[in-house]
Chains A and B, each alone.
Chain A
Amino acid sequence: MKRIVFLLVGALLPLGVQAAQADHIKASHAWIRLLPANLPAGGYVTLDNESASAATLVSAHSATYASAMLHQSTQDPSGNSTMRMVERVSIPAHGRLALAPSGYHLMLEQATHALKPGDMVAITLDFADGSHLPVSFLVRPANTSP
C-alpha cells in the first residue's frame, strides 16, 4: 500500500509542478531535404505551443546524425544570404514557430547511414527546461518544393 501511494505521488508530482515545455509542443510537417554525397541536410518542422507560457528550443540531437544544429538563414537588404548558428529560439505562448526553408532550420551533418526519400528519421528537440520532444522526420528528395 505504501509503495502504491509512493508511486501515485511520483506519477502526479510532475503535473503538480509546472509541466515541461516539451509536453505542450505539437510538432507537424517534419521533413528533411536529403542531399547527395552525405552533404549537410536541412531539417524543417512546424511547432505549435499549446501552453499559456512560452517555450524555448535550445538544441536538437539524433542518433542518425553526428551533428544537429539550430541554424538561421538571413538575407541582408543587398541580397546577400548568410547562415548562422542560433543558441535558442522562443515559441510564444499559444504561438507557432515554423522551421522552414530560408529561415530557421536544423543543420544535420554526417548521417551515420545512407538515407533515401521516404525514410523516417527520429530527431529529439531539446527545450530550455531540460525537457525533450522526440519527432519523426520524413526524408524527402533534394528538389522538393515545400
Chain B
Amino acid sequence: MKLSRFARLVCLSAMLIAGLLLAGCQRQEQAMPWELTDISGHMPDLAFHLTDDQGKAVSAADYRGKVTLLYFGYTHCPDVCPLTLAHLHVVLQRLGPLADDVRILFVSVDPARDTTEVLHQYVTAFDPHAVGLTGSPSDIEALTKRYRAAFTREPNKGGGGYDVSHSSGIYIFDATGKARLLATPSDSQDKLVHDLHLLLSPAGAT
C-alpha cells in the first residue's frame, strides 16, 4: 500500500516534470518566430565542390562559420537575378557588421558562358559578401537536384543568345551548413533581416 502510494507520487512527479519540459520546449519554439519558410530537417546540409569567382576550388566546408544564402542564376539574366542580388545587398547592408558572417553564394546555372572572370565582375557589382560559383555542368546539376531547384536552357534566340529558366528560391543555411530557411525573391527585406538576425544570434544558431 505504501509502495503504491510512492509509485503514484513518482508517476505524478514524472508527469509534472514531463509537462514542464514540454512547456519549456514550446516556449523555445515560440522564441524562434521565423518569418520565412522553416525548412530545418527537410533539406540536406550544404555540400558541393565548385570553383569560386577567383578561380579557386571550393567546397561547402570553406563556408562553415558563415550563414550562407544559396541562389541559382546566371549573368545573362538582366532582370530577375540582379533584382534578387540587389535585394540581398540591401538586406546585408541593414545587418551592418553582422554581414561579415554572411555569404551570398550565387551559383551559375549557365557555366558555358559564366567564366570565373565574368562571375567575379558580376557578383562584386552587387555586394562584397557575394561569391560567384561555377563548375562542371554535372556538379552544378547535382547541386540543383540536391535542393530540387530545376533549371532549363531555353531554345536559342537569334545571334547565339539564349535564356535559362531557373528556380528563384533563396536557400538559407546556418553556420554549421544545416538548411534552415527558404526565401523567395518576393519576401520582404524586413523578413530576411529579421530571420538573419535570429540565425546569427546564439539562440538561432542551433
Binding site for B on A (CB under 8 A): 33, 35-37, 39-42, 67, 71, 73, 75, 78-85, 101-102, 105, 107-109, 141-146
B109 to chain A, nearest CB (A): 11
Q: Does B85 contact A (CB under 8 A)?
A: yes
Interface centre among B83, B118, B150 (most CB of A within 10 A): B83
Using CB atoms, name the residue of chain B closest to A101. Answer: B83
Among all A-B residue pairs, the 4 with the closest Cβ atoms: A82-B165, A142-B125, A36-B121, A42-B78
Which of A40, A67, A81, A144 has a CB less than 8 Å from the CB of B80? A81
| CB of A73, distance to nearest CB on chain B (Å) | 5
State whether B82 touches A142 (Cβ < 8 A): yes
CB distance from A106 to the nearest CB of B (A): 9
- A83-B77 CB under 8 A given contacts A35-B125, A142-B125, A143-B127: yes
Number of B residues whose C-beta is below 8 Å from A?
A: 34
Q: What would 19 A/B residue contacts be, using CB atoms closer than 8 Å?
A: A36-B122, A36-B124, A39-B76, A39-B118, A39-B122, A42-B78, A80-B168, A81-B185, A83-B79, A83-B154, A101-B79, A105-B79, A108-B78, A142-B126, A143-B82, A143-B126, A144-B86, A145-B86, A146-B83
Asked whether A73 lies within 8 Å of B122 as measured between CB atoms, the reply is no
- Chain B interfacial positions (CB closer than 8 Å to A): 75-80, 82-83, 85-87, 89-90, 117-118, 121-122, 124-127, 150, 154, 157, 159, 161, 163, 165-169, 184-185
B150 partner residues in chain A, CB cutoff 8 A: 78, 80
Q: How far is the CB of A140 from chain B (nearest CB, A)?
A: 10
A100, chain B: closest CB distance, angstroms = 10
- Contact between A37 and B82, CB atoms less than 8 A apart: no
User: A83 — nearest CB in chain B belongs to which residue?
Assistant: B163
| Smallest beta-carbon distance A130→chain B, Å | 23
Contact across chains for B78 and A80 when beta carbons are under 8 A apart? no
In the complex, chain A residues whose CB is within 8 Å of the CB of B168 = 75, 79-81
Decide: A79 near B82, CB < 8 A? Known: A35-B75, A36-B122: no
Question: Could you tell me the distance between the alpha carbons of A36 and B167 in the complex, rounded to whole angstroms?
Answer: 23
Q: Is the CB of B118 within 8 A of A73?
A: no
B89 engages A143 (CB within 8 Å)? yes
In the complex, the answer to whether A79 meets B169 with C-beta atoms within 8 Å is yes
Shortest CB–CB separation between residue B8 and chain A, in angstroms? 55
Report the minimum CB–CB distance from B24 to chain A (whole Å). Answer: 36
Cβ contacts under 8 Å, A145 to chain B: 86-87, 89-90
A78–B184 Cα distance when bound, in Å, is 11
Q: Collect the chain B residues with CB atoms within 8 Å of residue A79's CB.
A: 167-169, 184
Alpha-carbon separation in the docked complex, A141 to B167 (Å)? 25
Select one of A41, A84, A85, A146 contacting B78, CB under 8 A: A41
Closest Cβ of chain A to B75, distance in Å, is 5
Residues of B within 8 A of A37 (CB): 75, 117-118, 121-122
> Which residues of the other chain, A, contact B122 by a CB distance below 8 angstroms?
35-37, 39, 142
